[in-house]
Amino acid sequence: MSTIKREKTSKTKMSDDMLNAGSGKTIKQPNVNDDKLTSISEMREQSGGHPALAIEDEQRLRRAFVDKDWNEIKIADSWQIFKVMAEFVEGFEKMSKIGPCVSIFGSARTKPDNPYYQMAEEIAAKLVRHGYGVITGGGPGIMEAGNKGARSEGGKSVGLNIELPFEQSHNIYIDQDKCIDFDYFFVRKVMFVKYAQAFVGMPGGFGTLDELFEAMTLIQTKKISRFPIVLVGSAYWSGLFKWVEEVMLHEEHNISPEDMNLVQIVDDASEAVKIIDDFYHKYLLSPNF
């Protein structure tokens, strides 16, 4: 099976000149301490950092020191609005046609021989058999497992891919007409939440926690309707939520007791799907906002 090629519609294409439009004056490169930048690179490499990423970080530092006046910043920001809007329009147009889906998220680094990869694949297959499509972040690891499980049962397999300098690339199990590329994390997260009937959270890193706690916050603050959030792997998640309960709830009183009911932690694929099914015996399937 061939790898899905990245495609962008004309709505999402915008020239660098438009995005970086300025007032017309020459932008001067300030005197940056090259020795300092070199030492940063050396420290990164000594600590096990990838040399290519270290060079890219240096270039980012250099760009950050470039002089810009407020007029240039204002013009660049104004043009950027259109790119953000284009991503929303493309996402809404494609996602609104897909129907009931469940978002499965987790680490991009999980290998196929990992039990969590295999469980994500099993959960996705079961969800399709119960009438749901599957939405993932479109990349490798747990995301690939979710799309693979959906594809194996002939279900809808959606990939919301994000442009990153590392890790992320399309997996081969996404339906070609349901693969959407994003430059902005916040636009991508809107699509995850708006069109998901439930979240299934597998073990993951910072991105997984970001998506999890954003969904919990939106439900807690009544910005969206409640939907099931199922976390798979008690060995992975229990320590975090023990801290949430002991410190955030009981010691600091930063959340309410009912907030602990926003998620359910399971260790079995069938149990994860049952929680979602049981919820929708009482409620209609529809976009969340």
CATH 3.40.50.450 fits 99-281, yes or no: yes
Which secondary structure element, helix H or strand E, spans residue 122, and what is its range? Answer: helix 115-129
- 56-70, 71-85, 176-190, range with the lowest pLDDT: 56-70
Q: What is the model's pTM?
A: 0.76
Q: Which whole number is the average pLDDT over 168-173?
A: 85
Partner residues linked to 105 by β-bridges: 201
The DSSP line for 62-108 is: HHHTS---HHHHHHHHHHHHHHHHHHHHHHHHHHTTT-SEEEEE--T
Q: Exposed/middle/buried for 214, CB within 10 Å: 0-12, 13-18, 19+?
A: middle
CA 217 to each of CA 72, 186, 221: distance values in angstroms, whole numbers, following the listed order: 35, 14, 6
* Banded pLDDT at 32 (limits 50, 70, 90): very low
Res 177: pLDDT: 92
Res 52: pLDDT: 67
Report the candidate in 186, 182, 203, 183 with the shortest Cα–Cα distance to residue 194.
186
Res 74: pLDDT: 67
Query: Is the pLDDT assigned to residue 21 strictly greater than 90?
Result: no
Res 240: pLDDT: 98
* Banded pLDDT at 163 (limits 50, 70, 90): confident
Question: 193-223: per-residue pLDDT in tens?
Answer: 999 999 999 999 999 999 999 999 999 999 9
Listed in order, strand segments (DSSP E) in the chain are: 101-105, 133-136, 157-162, 179-182, 196-201, 229-232, 264-266
CA pair distance 43, 223, nearest whole angstrom: 44
Query: Is the pLDDT assigned to residue 56 strictly greater than 80?
Result: no
CA pair distance 159, 137, nearest whole angstrom: 5
